[in-house]
Amino acid sequence: MSEKQQKWIGLLILAFVAWKVMGGSVSPKVDGPLTVLIVRETGQSSPALARTLTTLRNGEPAAYLAGKKHILTVLDDDAETADGQPAPLLEKFKPYPVLPELLLISGEKLIHREPLPATPEAVIALVKKHGGE
């Protein structure tokens, strides 16, 4: 390996370490609209959670999601279809051991899930991190 190649590899390693230190993730970003699914138990709601959800439906967060054509769906973990069957979107990604939970889905593929962040801003930041800017 030439001295020049070694220098480039060193720079790349340094850049990667700096990126990870700044909170980067190895999950690749995906193109196109995401399904942003929030699963919760409506019997265990809280005012703070309610404020987060309603804020995501109004104002800047809602405008951002709509502008990027991301689809936000908020479901109870027991949500049913018309026929009383479990909602297919929930079935696909169960179980949900920790509620409320945020799932980011691209097409049919789950690209990220974690406990729902505490603020709408943090939810939007995660969406941007994994998809639309």
Partner 1 sequence: MPIDPKFIDVDFTQEPQYVRGDLGISFTAMQRFAAFEEFASVIPESKWRDEVAAMDAAGGGADQLVTRIYNQKSEGSCVANACSQSHEILQALQFGKDNVTPLSAISLYKRIGRSPGSGAMVSDGLDEMNERGVLPLDTPENRAKFSSAVMPSTGWSTPYPSGWEATAKRFRVTEWHVVKSVDGIITALLNQFPVVVGRSGHSICYVRPMYKDGKLVVKYANSWGDWGDQGYGYDSMNLIRSSANWAFVPRSVTVQ
Site residues (CB under 8 A) for partner 1? 42-51, 53-55, 57-59, 62, 66, 71-76, 78-83, 87, 89
For residue 25, the minimal CB distance to partner 1 (Å) is 27
How many beta carbons lie within 10 A of that of residue 42, not counting itself?
14
Contact 119, 48 (CB under 8 A): no
Least spacing, CB of residue 67 vs partner 1, in Å: 12
**Min separation Cβ 126 and partner 1, Å:** 18
- Helices 59-67 and 120-130, interaxial angle, to 10°? 20
Residue (27 or 54) nearer to partner 1, CB: 54
**Sheet strand arrangement including 101-106:** 71-76, 35-40, 101-106, 109-115
Q: Residue with structure tokens 């936000």?
A: 72
**Cβ-Cβ contacts under 8 Å for 62 (sequence gap 6 or more):** 56, 72
Shorter beta-carbon distance to partner 1: residue 75 or 111: 75
**Toward partner 1, which CB reaches closer, 10 or 80?**
80
CB 90, min distance to partner 1, A: 8
Nearer to partner 1, 12 or 50 (CB): 50
